[in-house]
């Protein structure tokens, strides 16, 4: 349906040739933009209606006072299902520290949260198929689990800013929510507007980059340089992704275009994770609570983890 709409706009209304670079790029852009935004609206609305999104306050209550492995399992799972805005990562970090949750567990949450969320997962299934979606989610969960443990091994407590330890949180007020269907509908519509209002730029940018790649990069060039999965392509993809930032949904169309041109699966996954999870703005925000040594370590641990994931998949697939 979305493909034929893309064909209609690019080849009939704009009269571009399907063989031309521009024609291929425009067709890809229209197809993906309509498809991804339609998926986003449906998924976010459905989750809003079910009130499936957890607030950070609830997550904190779930994770606190548990043995390490349980806390980590919950942190990774809840991180994966809560799309939280990077602007709340500071209160979240402080809240976790104040609740006595180990820093390694907090880092597991901070890794899982931007990388995996149910919105991105549904878009992944819709655009790239469920096999790749499952690979991405499984690899992301593993990285979050092990990344937190690796961070813990370096005793990051010494790098937490002093004032963080002194903050005492008040008792969170239990806000009762209106559970009528009308209130749920209103809440769901507000969620759709809020989340799409926040991410649409990243998504459009991702679709634009994907469309340019699809239309203008020849498959033969990809086969010569990226197709074989030469060892250096994976760390290259990770390094490329560090300064680049898009949210997890925005990078999906780029991955789609790369895979279609024959870029190796491991290389593509490494780039996706690096772009989604490692971002300069988030690092700068976290700098308010931890010193730069911890941030550098965080970036290094993730870069190594993504490289290993990429190499692993290039070997297997």
Positions in the binding site for other proteins (CB under 8 A): 55-57, 60, 84, 87-88, 90-92, 94-95, 98, 163, 166-173, 175, 186, 190, 194, 288
Q: Cβ 287 to other proteins, closest distance in Å?
A: 13
Residue 78 or 251 with smaller CB distance to other proteins? 78
- Residue 277 to residues 2, 136, 229, 306, Cα–Cα distance (Å): 29, 13, 22, 10
Distance in angstroms (rounded) separating the CA atoms of residues 233 and 268 = 10
For residue 275, the surrounding DSSP H or E stretch is helix 265-277
| Three-state secondary-structure class, residue 185 | helix
Least CB distance from residue 183 to other proteins, whole Å? 9
DSSP string computed for 41-108: HHHHHHHHHHT-PPPHHHHHHHHSSS-HHHHHHHHHHHHHH----GGGHHHHHHHHHHTT--HHHHHH
Nearer to other proteins, 59 or 141 (CB): 59
Are the beta carbons of 298 and 278 closer than 8 angstroms?
no
User: H or E stretch including 252?
Assistant: helix 252-260
Supply the DSSP symbol for 251: T
Task: Determine whether 129 is exposed, middle or buried from the number of CB atoms within 10 Å of its CB (0-12, 13-18, 19+).
Answer: exposed
Give the residue with the Cβ less far from other proteins, 26 or 78.
78
* Shortest reach from residue 242's CB to other proteins, in Å: 25
| Minimum distance from residue 167 beta carbon to other proteins (Å) | 5
Question: Residue 87 or 284: which CB sits closer to other proteins?
Answer: 87
Smallest distance from other proteins to CB 177, Å: 11
- Shortest Cβ 113–other proteins spacing (Å): 13
Q: Minimum CB separation from other proteins for residue 87, in Å?
A: 5
What CA–CA distance (Å, rounded) separates 129 from 150? 32
Distance, CA of 202 to chain centre: 11
- Minimum CB distance to other proteins smaller for 60 or for 261: 60
Residue 171 backbone zone (phi > 0: left; psi -120 to 50: alpha; other: beta): beta
Give the nearest distance from C-beta 63 to other proteins in angstroms. Answer: 12
Comparison of 110 and 255: residue with beta carbon closer to other proteins = 110
Identify which of residues 118 and 256 has a Cβ nearer to other proteins in the complex. Answer: 118
For the stretch 170-179, what's the b/e string if a residue is b when 16 or more beta carbons lie within 10 angstroms of its beta carbon? eeeeeeeeee
For residues 190 and 280, which CB has a smaller minimum distance to other proteins in the complex?
190
């Amino acid at each position: 349906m979305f493909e034929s709409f893309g064909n209609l706009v690019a080849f009939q209304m704009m009269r571009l040739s399907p063989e031309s670079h521009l024609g291929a790029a425009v067709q890809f852009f229209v197809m993906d933009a309509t498809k991804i935004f339609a998926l986003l609206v449906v998924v976010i609305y459905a989750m809003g209606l079910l009130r499936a999104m957890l607030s950070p306050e609830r997550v904190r209550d779930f994770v606190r006072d548990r043995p390490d492995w349980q806390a980590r399992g919950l942190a990774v799972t809840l991180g994966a299902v809560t799309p939280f805005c990077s602007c709340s990562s500071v209160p979240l970090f402080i809240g976790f520290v104040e609740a006595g949750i180990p820093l390694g567990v907090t880092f597991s949450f901070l890794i899982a949260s931007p990388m995996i969320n149910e919105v991105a997962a549904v878009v992944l299934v819709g655009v790239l198929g469920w096999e790749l979606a499952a690979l991405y989610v499984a690899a992301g969960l593993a990285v979050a689990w092990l990344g937190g443990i690796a961070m813990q091994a370096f005793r990051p407590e010494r790098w937490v800013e002093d004032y963080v330890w002194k903050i005492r949180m008040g008792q969170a007020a239990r806000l009762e929510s209106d559970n009528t269907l009308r209130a749920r509908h209103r809440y769901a519509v507000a969620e759709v507007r809020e989340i799409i209002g926040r991410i649409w730029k990243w998504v459009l940018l991702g679709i634009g980059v994907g469309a340019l790649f699809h239309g203008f990069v020849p498959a033969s060039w990809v086969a010569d340089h990226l197709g074989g999965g030469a060892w250096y392509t994976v760390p290259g993809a990770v390094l490329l992704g560090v300064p680049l930032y898009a949210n997890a949904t925005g990078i999906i169309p780029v991955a789609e275009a790369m895979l279609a041109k024959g870029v190796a699966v491991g290389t593509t996954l490494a780039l996706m994770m690096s772009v989604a999870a490692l971002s300069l703005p988030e690092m700068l925000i976290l700098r308010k609570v931890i010193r730069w040594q911890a941030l550098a370590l965080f970036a290094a641990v993730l870069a190594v983890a993504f490289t290993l994931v990429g190499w692993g998949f290039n070997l297997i697939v």
